[in-house]
Amino acid sequence: MTTIRSKFLFTGLAAVLLSASLPVLANEAYVGYRQKIMAAVGGHAGAIGAIVKSKLPEQDAIAALAEAVAKTADTVPAAFSHALHEGATDAKPEIWDNMDDFLTLNDAMRKASLALADAARKGDPAVVKKAMRDFSKSCGACHRSYRKPKEESYKQRR
Give the footprint of other proteins on this chain (CB under 8 A). 41-47, 49-50, 52-54, 129, 132-133, 136-137, 139-140, 143-144, 147, 149-151, 156
User: C-beta of 76: minimal distance to other proteins in Å?
Assistant: 16
Residues 6+ apart with CB under 8 A from 85: 91, 92, 93, 95, 96
Of 47 and 120, which has the nearer Cβ to other proteins?
47
User: C-beta of 46: minimal distance to other proteins in Å?
Assistant: 3
CB atoms within 10 A of CB 92: 18
User: C-beta of 52: minimal distance to other proteins in Å?
Assistant: 7
Of 31 and 69, which has the nearer Cβ to other proteins?
69
Of 5 and 55, which has the nearer Cβ to other proteins?
55
User: Could you give the CA distance from residue 23 to residue 144 in angstroms, rounded to a whole number?
Assistant: 28
User: C-beta of 26: minimal distance to other proteins in Å?
Assistant: 26
The residue among 95, 81, 80, 85 whose CA lies nearest residue 146 is 95
Of 26 and 64, which has the nearer Cβ to other proteins?
64
List, in sequence order, the alpha helices (H) in the chain. 2-21, 27-54, 59-74, 76-79, 94-97, 99-122, 125-146
